[in-house]
Structures are given as structure tokens and as C-alpha cells.
Amino acid sequence: MRILIFHGYLLRGTGSNIYNNNLTRALAGLGHEVHLFCQDREAEDLPWVNSIGLWGEDGSGGLKVVRLREADAPGTVTVYRPSIGRLLPVYVEDPYEGFDARAYPRLSEAEVERYIDVNVAAVREVSQRVGGFDAALANHLLMGPVVLARAGIRPYAVKNHGSDLEYTLKPNPRFLPYAEEGLEPAAAVLVGSWSTAASLWEAVPGLDLKQKTGLGPPGVDTEEFRPLEASQAAARLEELATAIEADPPSTSFGRDEDAAVSALRETAAAEGPRVIFVGKLIVSKGVDLLIAAWPLIHRANPGARLLLVGFGAYEMGLRALATALGEGDLDSARHIAGIGRELEGGETSRLEYLAHFLSLPPRGYTGAAVAAAGSISFSGRLEHDEVARALPACEAMVVPSTFPEAFGMVAAEGAASGVLPVCAGHSGLAEVTAVLAEEVPDVAPLISFDLGPEAVGDLGGKVAGWLALDPGQRTAIGRNIADCSNRNWSWRGVAEDVISASQSRIKPVREP
């Protein structure tokens, strides 16, 4: 089949980028001819990209397609990079090298329309050149579906990744007409979980989307994410650090190579268990809860280390919190909790769960925090394949998001790696942990914690409880959750579901 994917962003770094990277490879592996639209300026370097399609700097001169390499897969991949200029509309502002990334609410109507128009023209030109598409997927509610709708592409499905809905559409009703215009002609809308579906139906009530909303979570690359023998963990982390040192990776998001190498080596040298977080360093990911809980986990596991993998606007706030706790300065930590999102660049907004915990910490907490000083490492961004090498070298993963998640992707990857993902009990995270708990009952008491006044203590208790198990028992359970992840989430299945969705065949979304 000839398949169009409109993404509009990069092919590495964060959730939807990784989704489209893996989906494209899976479709090519099934023998399809894939035409992918994105803005990754280093797409040519990806070994699975066979051709690249470019326009002139100002979009003039027409499309030029350059053949790069022969296909290793049964199918082929051509990546197209429309000439949108420097302005890149985003849902959460982060640095994008070569772009001025600006959140949708800060765009004028003229800027939004220009972005759509340039992409519509590019999609139309490619469609005419290749003779149309048998199936298509528009990523994000804004603005991929509008682009395909205006370009006259039929049929197509829409993939809602969550950030488009929660960070842009719901708080900003001015974008509702764009969502409706793109969703109305769509054959189906794919969501990662029931909670995301319910949020979507509430946000776009006028189209009766329930009839064409289907379950379409991301997948796990089970060749990359798989269990590792405990005896090999330190060597794996050291090898990764050496590889990064020798061959600096893409700078699409930018990163401090020295910080990544140092953090990995510090974690490799841990004398106790290793715990990992992977995600954006923003307030809504709840990393403050993990940092506050860390002294409790470390007290029960001397020599333990925490590795924080990711980047984001709240990194300085999290570093300040870790420093304050490590110095036993609870007053400064309480101040950080009090101003909250101000340290992310927003307005002052109290972090209620953290503030509640720090208002009356458990006996001995200050001493435990001082003892844990220096045991938290910030690696910055790691490439997805690098995360796949680091994650199995840890004993536990924490996913403490305080904001709805469309799907617990990192939790599924942790499980595939044989690492228990201890997750906040809500939204798409809860649906992933529910599957794991049902199929591997041993993890049920430990895999999820509730958000609320007791969140920090609960989180710490769950992680400490898991680490207190006999290592052999943890290994056996880890194998079982890896098998569970493999059964329930694979990219081949995701690819087949996308094709079916574009033809109005969907898996029902069931309320948990």
C-alpha cells in the first residue's frame, strides 16, 4: 500500500516523534511504501530513510526528491520536509535547533494559516506526483487533520497524542474550529486510552466522535527494550557513556554531552539499586514528587542512585529542589513548592502535593535527605535507542505524572525491559498498569500510587517495597512483565491498526 503520514515535527526526542519513527519503520517492514511529512532536519541520517523530498528555502522551485540509500526493509520510506520557515508551532515550548518554536496560543491567525497553507501545498504536490494514497494518518488534533482535509486526502485517520488536546485545544477554544474541520472528514480517531477518549469527546462535543474513536496506543520495540542480566548492568551503562563520548549524537534538541556521560557513569558506579525517570522535565510530569520521595527510598537502600533522563523548562527548579533537600534546607524546599510553576516560566502556582509533604515530613526525613545528597544524576536528553540501553540496567522506573497521559508509553517500555514501572494511578498510565497487574498479579500492590496529599510517601513506599524483594524474585517478576508488554504492545500491531483505522475499522475503546 501507498501510505501518507503527516507528523510535522522531528523523528527523535519525545513521545509523538518516537511514535512516528517506529510506526514508519514498522509499516516499511510490512512492505508498504511510506511517505512521511516532518520537520526533522537530520532525517537524511536515519538509516531507514531511503529518499528525502525538499523544497527551496522559500518553498519555490517545486519538489526535488533525492535518493539516499537502498531499502533494508521490504517497503520504502520517503521523508518530505515542507519549507515552513523558522516558525514551528508547538504544544509545549522547548528549544528546537534551527526553529523558533512557539506555542499555538502565541500565534496570530495569519501565522497559523500560513503554516497550514504551506503544508497543504506540499501534501497536494506529493499526492499528485505519486498518484494518491491508499491510507493516511494525520498526527495530532492540531494541525495535521486540517492539512489533510484541505489537501483533499481521503481516507485518513487521526492520532491524538494527548499534548495537543490537553495543552492547546482544551485551554484555548479559538482552536476548536480547526479541530472540527480536520476531524469531521476523518475515517477514525485513534487514542491511547479511555481517559484520553473521554477528554476528547468533552473537548469536541459537536461531531459525535464516539462512533469513530478507536483504541490506538503506541507500541514498544521489543528488540530494543528487553531485560538485562543484573550482572551486566554497570557495564551496559559504562559502554553507553563511552559511546556517547566517542560519537556525539544529533543536536536537534541540543544536549550537554558531558552531563550525559557523567550521569551515566555515576549511575553505573552505584553501590545500591538504580532507579530511573524518563520524560520531560516540566511540572506536569511530577518529578518533584520523585525527588522528594528519593530520601525515603535511599534511606532504605543505601548506595542507591536516581537517574533523571530528559530536558525541559523546569529542570532548574528540580535541581534547586534536589540541592535544597541535600543541604537539609527544608525552608528553601518549601519555598520552591510554594512558587511552583514560576520556576518553569509561568505564574506562581503552588505544588500542592509537594507542599503538603514538606509541611510535615516524616521523622528523620531531614537526615535522610542530607544522606542522599549527590545521589541524583541529571543526564539531559538521551536518544530513544540510548534510553533502550540504559533502562534495563535499572531496578525500577518511576512515572509520577500529575497531568493526564494519553498512554503510558514509558511504562510499557519499562515493563518490556523487565523493570517495574511505578506509576501515578490515573489516565493512560492507569490503563497500562492495570494490564500489567492483571496478567502479573505479583506487581499489583506496588505498581501504582494515588495522587493526593500522601503521594510522596506512597510513591516512596511503593519503590522501596519493590527494591526490598529478593533480587531473584524481582528478576522472575521482571521477565513476566516483559512478556506481558510484548503480548500487549508491539509496533507491528500498531501499524496494522493504523491502516485499518484509515479504512474505518477500529478497536473499540472500553471504559475501565
Write the pLDDT tens digit of every residue in 349-377: 999 999 999 999 999 999 999 999 999 99
pTM of the model: 0.74
What's the grid cell of residue 51?
Answer: 529518499
Locus of grid cell 534536589: 322
Burial of 106 (0-12, 13-18, 19+ CB in 10 A): exposed
pLDDT of amino acid 97: 85
pLDDT at residue 407 tops 90: no
For 272, other C-beta atoms within 10 Å of its C-beta total 16
* Averaged pLDDT for residues 56-67: 82
pLDDT at residue 252 tops 60: no
Report CA-CA distances (Å) from 474 to 273, 357, 408.
12, 29, 21
Residues 314 and 344: beta-carbon distance below 8 Å? yes
Rounded distance, CA 97 to CA 37, Å?
A: 18
pLDDT in tens, 436-481: 999 999 999 999 999 999 999 999 999 999 999 999 999 999 999 9
pLDDT at residue 249 tops 70: no
pLDDT at residue 59 tops 80: no
pLDDT of amino acid 423: 98
Q: Is residue 253 very low, low, confident or very high in pLDDT (cuts 50, 70, 90)?
A: low
Identify the three-state secondary structure at position 167: helix
Q: What percent of the chain has pLDDT over 90?
A: 87
pLDDT of amino acid 248: 63
What's the grid cell of residue 242?
Answer: 563511552
pLDDT of amino acid 362: 97
Locus of grid cell 526490598: 468
What's the grid cell of residue 416?
Answer: 518490556
For helices 15-29 and 491-502, the axis angle rounded to 10 degrees is 90
What the chain holds in terms of domains, given with CATH numbers, is: 2-219+491-502 (3.40.50.2000), 235-314+375-488 (3.40.50.2000)
pLDDT of amino acid 398: 98
Rounded distance, CA 430 to CA 330, Å?
A: 32
In DSSP terms, which residues pair with 103 in a beta bridge? 90
Burial of 319 (0-12, 13-18, 19+ CB in 10 A): middle
pLDDT at residue 240 tops 70: yes
Residues 176 and 202: beta-carbon distance below 8 Å? no
Rounded distance, CA 325 to CA 348, Å?
A: 21
Average pLDDT, the chain: 94
CA-wise closest residue to 164 among 187, 184, 190 = 190
pLDDT of amino acid 250: 54
